[in-house]
Structure formats: structure tokens, C-alpha cells
Amino acid sequence: MSEHEKTYGVLFAGVGGQGALLAAEITAMAAVSGGYEVKQTEVHGVSQRGGSVETHVRFGKTVWSPVITPGRADLVVGLEKLEALRFAHFAHQSQGTILVNDHEILPGSVTNAAETYPHEALTFLNDKGYRVITIPASEMARDLGDGRMANVVMLGAMSNLLPIEEKVWLDTLRKRIPEKYRQPNLKAFEAGRKMSDPPKG
Amino acid sequence: MKKELLLGNHAIARGAWEAGVEFAVGYPGTPSTEILETLTQFPDVHAQWAANEKVAFEEGMGAAIGGVRVLVTMKHVGLNVAADPFMVFPYAGTNAGFVVISADDPGMHSSQNEQDNRYLARVAKVPVLEPSDCQECKDFVRAGLELSEKFGVPVMLRTTTRLAHHKSLVEIGDRTTVPKREFVPDAKRFSVPIYRRLLRPKVEQRLEQLRAYAEETPLNRIEEGDPMIGVVTNGISYQYVKEVMPQASILRLGMTHPLPRDLLVDFCAKHGKVYVVEEGEPFIEEHMLALGIPNIEGKQRFGVIGEYSPGRLAAALGLGEVPEGFASEINIMPRPPMFCVGCGHRTVFSALRQMRVTVSGDIGCYTMGALPPFEASHTTFCMGASIGVAVGLERAGEERVVAVIGDSTFVHAGMPSLVDSVYNRSKLTLIILDNSTTGMTGGQPHPASGKDIYGGHAPRLNLVALCNAAGVEHVSRVDAWNRKQVFGAIREALEFDGPSVVIVHGPCQRIPEMKQREIIPFFVEEELCTQCEACLKVFCPAITLNARGFPEIHPAECTACTLCAQVCPPEAIIPLPPDRSGTP
Ligand SMILES: Cc1ncc(C[n+]2csc(CCOP(=O)(O)OP(=O)(O)O)c2C)c(N)n1
């Protein structure tokens, strides 16, 4: 299938408050500017109180379902390791990529010592045959002045893997991010973008 | 034509504005809340939050018979609360257009049940429209208002979580101004119940006319495809069908009550096999079975429970398996939601956990008090039930029963129950969690919050005076972030021989005033810390153990609520001095 016929699917997973929704929204907006039909799911309510958050973006010539079928996502973007693991099976086994922020947020049950966090998540996914790219996004964002920009670092990293031009991404960021936070976020995006290979073939 | 990426709920709001709605009213509830919030941005519409869905429906009903176009919004269970006016309104019928949004929640993403409100519409004899994407979310509001005026009937627009909370491109247009209709008092129609007998046959006649309309309306459409495989579908399921069975013939029903008899019979006669793909209950399917249509298959293959998805349809049709995730191979523990950093509810549940009382809970953020680590809320049913259930538990012999209710929920359905409990000589202790907002649904003002939907000041219900007026003899009001006060007040209330109320006041950290506040975060002075971990027992998400084994407070998250400082024996938790900000 040519790039133009294909429907792309990107799943963002994270913890409430990490900005998974914002990353998805920017992706959806960029895809619209790129001339695609777009659908995006959101989560509201309970999921935002520090619970796990999942949001899907699909774009292409025609898009029917707003939700991605497990095993079909081109990209799974995990803003946190456990959440990447929770939604990893949405990625296409051979052609998909899982991008993970190398960052752990312990759920309450781990802090209370009732459970053990799966620190080995990334090795596990590698062993399953997935293409996994690890990005120290939280650390990079902190170095750039604000750890909360990890979502935008990840956005930069994944932007390389989608058929949307860099200029479109930057314009979308400029449009969506309020003036006060714009410059640092553009820097975060660029830093992230340098972390992933451009698409092959 | 200009296109914008809109959320289903934003599209509904836009649709209401474009179609000339002048009055919009509702009560918050996921997944309906954003509709009314969005409508506040349109100058020609007056939006307001009502105390509950019944009041919202009645205010809408009044405005519609008064002659202006109306949109009323609520989640599926909200319509249970509004069922009384919903069932009688069709008798009198409406004057100007009236559309009620029923936002259903298949999969129960944020609800206490899964309930298909098309059945309620059938009982009420109200037509139902079901959009399949965001463009239709917008267009169907206008279609609904026009239908409402054409037949003088209230119309239900049914959405579901996926529809309401997904974005797609929508063509936007301008507002149509609709002239106000005159309100003509008519005793036979509006005021004397005995005349309703005369209206009764009219309700049936109208239903027959609506059925005829359903045969013709473009809201129901056929997409010709494979003559061997037909699909009857509605709502978001239509998208999944297009994805999974692109070759099938489709009858897409945009109007699902009343159903078009001939259209269904003819469509099925022309196709070898017909699948009925409708999320939720077999509403269309049962109707088709009642019509004696033989070649259909629906719920038996696709199931009743939970959301549909392309993967689920594909698997049900034997078109491929869907990977399930790795939970059986590696520990993927759930990450349940929890009380926010600085949430005042935390103090109350710490107290209740310690006091080992029977707690009758309610619906709101505080429902999380039932989860670990607090596990101090023992029943939750529906909004306002905490008080009635507590009275019943008392009657059944439970001693020391505490009912816990949020302020929005108390106003919504708790007030009659409180009056009842005093009247019936209950001795329960009621705790009202007064956080000045409807937290669970994202922070909407309510009559006890002192704000209106536009953020302006509004008359504020005095909770203390209200409880006194109900006859509660022991009423106290305490600061949610003062542990001693909260614990003391609850203990005193429990000891009081009679009904008692403790109002725990502390605004939600997510309301604008709280978020905009200057905060000096607290930190742990490691030299003073004895590593007793008492602060960890506050269960604040901003406190974690660092690599050195000391508790550490995340400065960007700390709200300076001081709950951890209050339990620290060596007083090692103190405000971060300015020269150390940014550390550690
Ligand atoms: C009949 C009905 N309407 C609306 C809702 C959606 N809803 C869930 S909790 C809640 C109220 C929460 O506010 P409050 O009681 O003040 O508690 P808080 O969440 O602020 O702690 C609402 C409106 C519902 N569950 N049932």
C-alpha cells in the first residue's frame, strides 16, 4: 500500500497529568494540516486522576473507526514504562514501533509494597520481537528546564516516523502551545526529533 | 466550507448554536459535560447548570413550551433522575424544538452501570436519533429540533462515550435565528391532568406518524454492496462495520425509535444474511425479530456487554484474532485513579479508616475512598443514595453508620434524604465533603459553590443553615486540611445522640482559584527525618522514597496542604526556603 492509501495509527499511553492527550491532539492537528482525514479518541473523567491514560490518533485518506485495533498501530508512544507495556500489544508486531520514555511512575500499589513494578518491561518487549526505541525524555525535558515537557520530547522523537513534514509539526506546535511555554517546547521537540532515525525506504 | 477538528460534544454544542438554540441546561455527567461548557462560549445562547437532571429537564421543558429552542444535556443515568418529566412531556408535546442529549456509556468508562436509554425513549414514546460521527453530532441537533417542531414532540439525541469523546473533522456553519413562538396557555394540553386521557390517543397517533417518517427520512440510509451480506447498524458501530466489512450492504439507522418497519423488512428480504451490529442492548434486533424477519444474527454473535470495536467485530466474524496483551506473562498491575495531591477528601478517609465505622458512600471523587489504601467506604449505588442507604443500614441493626456525600451530590439528590432521615429519627452522622465544585466530572460549579457556569458569582447555598433548618441538632464545619479538627469533629458527631452533620470544607485543588494560587512547597529536612514513614501513610502521590531511603516531596506537585507535616513526629517537613527552591 502506498503512503497515501494507508491509514496510520498512533497510540499514546501515559499517566494522568503527563500530557498524553496534548501530544495526541498536536499529532491530530498536524495530520489535518498535512491534508489527511483524522480521528482521535480522548479520555475524560476517572482516567485523569493519576490513572492510566490511553488515546488514539488515526489518519489517512479515509478513516472509519476512531479506535485502533490491537496489533495494528504503527506507533505506540509510552510516556511511562508500565503504561507502554500495558498498551504494547496495540503495536504491529513486525512493522510497528514502540517508543518509550525511560521513566517510571510507581502506582500506589507499588509504593505500598503490595506489588512489584515490572522494571524489565523494555527487555521483555524486545524479546517479544518488537522494535523498541527508548528515549530519556523526562531527563531531557528536565535538562531543558521543565520535566513536564517529556510529552513534547516524545512527540519530537515520533514525528520522524510519520509522513508529516517537520515544518507542519513546528507550525502546529506554535499554534497550540501558549506563548509563555512556546520556546522551551519547540526546543524540547527538536531535541526529541534528533533522537530517532528518519524513516527508512 | 470551513472544516474544524471537533470533539463530538463540541460538535453538538456547535450544532445547537447554529440551529438557533437559545437556552441550554443540564447537569454534569461523563460523557456529556463538555456540551454545556462549550455553549458558554456562544453569546446568543444562555447556558446554565441545574441542581440535577430533573430540574434541568423541567427548565428546558418550560423554555420550550415558552417558545424558544432548547437543548438539555445529561449522562444516561441522569435520565433516570429526569424520567418523571421525560415520561409526561410527550403527552402535552412541545411548542418550540426540544432535544435532550442522553450520553450513554457502554463499557462503563465512568459510570456505575451500562444502560441503553433507547428503552426509556420507547417507554416515553419519544423519537431517538443516533449520530455516527462528529459531523452528524452537529447535524443531528438541527435535525432533532426540526423533527421536534414538526411533530410537537421532545426528541432524544443518544450519544455514546466513543462518539462524544472522539474528534473528527466537521464542516461548520452560521447561526440560523429562529423566531420565538408564542406561548398559548391551554388547560387541556398543559395544566389539567384529567385531560391527559384525551391526549393519550394522540400520543399513539403521533408515534405512527413518526414511524412513517422513519421510513422516508434520510437519517436512515442504505449503502448498497454485496447482496449476500447485509448489515443493520447505528451510532459508532457503523464506523466499525465500514472498517471490518467494507464490501457489505449497510442499512444505517440514524433514527432508532420508532423503527421503520418496511425499510427493515425490505432490506433483509434483499440480502442473504443480515447482521445486526448495535452496541448495547438488542434494541433494533428485538424489533426485527418481532417483525418476523428470519435471516438475522446479532447479539448471539457480537455480545451485549461492553463496547464494540473493529477488533471485536473481526474476531466475532472469524476474520482474525486480536492480540490480548501481556498481563499473563509479566506483572502489569492496574493503575487506578487516586485522590489528587492536596485533595481534602484524604483527611476524611484517613479518619474513617481509623475509626472503623460503617460508611455509606456516594458518587464522586470520594468513591475512591473505597479503594486501597483507605478501603473506608462500604456502599456506593447512585447519586444521593448514601443517606437513604445509611438509614436502612441503621434499621437493619448497624451501629455507628456514617454517610459520606459530596457537595454537588448533596444538592443534586441528598437534600430530601437528609430531611427524611431527621424526620424518621435516624441517628446517622452525615459528612458533607464541601470542595466547592463537582470534582469528578472535571469541576463544574453548583448551587453551593457560589459560582455560575460562566465563572461569575452566584448566590451560594448555606449548607450549615440548611442542615439546621432540616432539624439536625449537631452541625459542625471544619477545615479539610486540619487533621485534628476533622478527626475531632467526626468523633464528636459519632458520640452525639441524634442526627449530626460534619461539613468538611476545602476547595478542590483543580478549581481555577486554587491552581492560580502562589504555593510554597514543603520539603523533608533529611537531617531531622527519622525515616519513620508516617508521612507515607498520608498516601500523597507527591511523596516518594528517594534513593537514600528518605521520603521526598515533589516540589512541582506539592500544594502545601500540610497533611504530611501534621503527622511528622520530628517536624521534619517544613516549607521550602526560597534559597533552596528547585532543590533537591
Ligand atoms: C444521576 C447522575 N448524574 C450525574 C452523574 C455524574 N457524576 C458522577 S459523580 C458526580 C458529582 C461529583 O461531585 P461531588 O458530589 O461534589 O463530589 P466530588 O467529585 O467533587 O468529590 C457527578 C455529577 C452520575 N453519576 N449520576
Q: Which residue's alpha carbon is at the smallest distance from atom 15 of ligand 1?
A: B406
Q: Which residue's alpha carbon is at the smallest distance from atom 2 of ligand 1?
A: B78
| Phi, psi values for residue B549, rounded to 5° | 85, 10
Q: Is A65 on the interface with B (CB under 8 A)?
A: yes
Grid-cell match 532515525, residue found: A197
Q: What ranges in B125-218 are assigned the alpha helix state H? A: 134-151, 161-164, 196-216
Residues of B in contact with A82 (CB under 8 A): 332-333, 335
What is the spatial distance between Cα B538 and Cα B558, in angstroms, rounded to a whole number?
A: 13
Torsion sign over Cα B537, B538, B539, B545:
negative
Task: Identify which of B383, B404, B434, B451 to mutate to test ligand 1's pocket (most ligand atoms within 8 A of the CB).
Answer: B383
Q: Which of A47, A51, A109 sits opposite B333 (nearest CB)?
A: A109
Q: Which residue's alpha carbon is at the smallest distance from atom 3 of ligand 1?
A: B78
Q: Which residue's alpha carbon is at the smallest distance from atom 6 of ligand 1?
A: B29
Interchain proximity B372–A85, CB inside 8 Å: no
SS3 assignment, position A144:
coil
Q: Is B311 on the interface with A (CB under 8 A)?
A: yes
Report B:234-253 residues touching A (Cβ under 8 A): 236, 239-240, 242-243
Residues B256-309 pLDDT 10s = 999 999 999 999 999 999 999 999 999 999 999 999 999 999 999 999 999 999
Peptide bond into A66 cis (omega under 30): no
Give yes or no for a contact between A51 and A89, defined as CB atoms under 8 angstroms apart: no
Burial code (b: 16+ CB inside 10 Å, e: under 16) for B463-498 equals beebbeebebebbbbbebbbbebbbebbeebbeeee
Q: Is B469 on the interface with A (CB under 8 A)?
A: no
Helix (H) / strand (E) element for B361: namely none
Q: Is B197 on the interface with A (CB under 8 A)?
A: no
Distance (Å) from the C-alpha of residue A191 to the closest C-alpha of chain B? Answer: 23
What is the spatial distance between Cα B348 and Cα B405, in angstroms, rounded to a whole number?
A: 11
CA distances from B458 to B14, B37, B42, B216 (A): 26, 17, 20, 48
SS3 assignment, position B573:
strand
Q: What is the pLDDT of residue B581?
A: 58
Give yes or no for a contact between B275 and B231, defined as CB atoms under 8 angstroms apart: yes
CATH of domain A8-193: 3.40.920.10
Interchain proximity B322–A71, CB inside 8 Å: yes
Q: State the cell numbers at B191.
A: 395544566
What is the spatial distance between Cα B407 and Cα B415, in angstroms, rounded to a whole number?
A: 10
Interchain proximity A38–B240, CB inside 8 Å: no
Residues of B in contact with A15 (CB under 8 A): 335
- pLDDT at position A1 over 80: no
Torsion sign over Cα B26, B31, B36, B39:
negative
Q: Is B76 on the interface with A (CB under 8 A)?
A: no
Interchain proximity A71–B309, CB inside 8 Å: no
Residues B463-492 pLDDT 10s = 999 999 999 999 999 999 999 999 999 999
Q: State the cell numbers at B217.
A: 427520512
Q: Is A18 on the interface with B (CB under 8 A)?
A: no
Q: By CB neighbour count within 10 A (0-12 exposed, 13-18 middle, 19+ buried), where does B382 fall?
A: middle
Report A:149-188 residues touching B (Cβ under 8 A): none
Spell out the CATH class of B3-216: alpha beta
Spell out the CATH class of B345-514: alpha beta
> Do strands B551-553 and B543-545 pair parallel, antiparallel, or not at all (unpaired)?
antiparallel
Spell out the CATH class of B518-575: alpha beta
- pLDDT bracket for residue A108 (50, 70, 90): confident
Across B361-510, where does the E strand assignment appear? Answer: 401-406, 429-434, 474-479, 500-505
> Do strands B70-75 and B98-104 pair parallel, antiparallel, or not at all (unpaired)?
parallel
Residues of B in contact with A108 (CB under 8 A): 336, 338, 372-373, 539, 541
Q: Which of B7, B33, B539 sits opposite A108 (nearest CB)?
A: B539
Which of B167, B236, B237, B536 to mutate: most A Cβ within 10 Å? B167
C-alpha angle with apex B176: B174 to B179, nearest 5 degrees? Answer: 160
Among the four given CATH numbers 3.20.20.70, 3.40.50.920, 3.40.50.80, 3.90.220.20, the one describing domain B220-317: 3.40.50.920
B518-575 shares the fold of B3-216: no
ipTM above 0.85, yes or no: yes
Q: What is the pTM of this model?
A: 0.96
What is the spatial distance between Cα B70 and Cα B49, in angstroms, rounded to a whole number?
A: 14
* CA–centroid distance, residue B440 to ligand 1 (Å): 6
Residues A27-58 pLDDT 10s = 999 999 999 999 999 876 655 678 899 999 99
In order along its 584 residues, chain B shows pLDDT tens digits of 799 999 999 999 999 999 999 999 999 999 999 999 999 999 999 999 999 999 999 999 999 999 999 999 999 999 999 999 999 999 999 999 999 999 999 999 989 999 999 999 999 999 999 999 999 999 999 999 999 999 999 999 999 999 999 999 999 999 999 999 999 999 888 888 888 889 999 999 999 999 999 999 999 999 999 999 999 999 999 999 999 999 999 999 999 999 999 999 999 999 999 999 999 999 999 999 999 999 999 999 999 999 999 999 999 999 988 999 999 999 999 988 889 999 999 999 999 999 989 999 999 999 999 998 999 999 999 999 999 999 999 999 998 899 999 999 999 999 999 999 999 999 999 999 999 999 999 999 999 999 999 999 999 999 999 999 999 999 999 999 999 999 999 999 999 999 999 999 999 999 999 999 999 999 999 999 999 999 999 999 999 889 999 999 999 899 999 999 999 999 999 999 877 755 44
Distance (Å) from the C-alpha of residue B442 to the closest C-alpha of chain A? Answer: 7
DSSP letters of A75-127? Answer: EEEESSHHHHHHHGGGB-TTT-EEEEES-----HHHHTTSS---TTHHHHHHH
* CA–centroid distance, residue A78 to ligand 1 (Å): 31
Interchain proximity A128–B30, CB inside 8 Å: no
Grid-cell match 441517628, residue found: B427
What is the spatial distance between Cα B489 and Cα B19, in angstroms, rounded to a whole number?
A: 53
Q: In what order do the strands lie in the sheet with B248-253?
A: B220-223, B248-253, B226-234, B273-277, B296-297
Count other Cβ atoms within 10 Å, centred on residue A184: 16
Q: Which of A45, A111, A118 sits opposite B544 (nearest CB)?
A: A111
The domain ranges of chain B are 3-216, 220-317, 345-514, 518-575
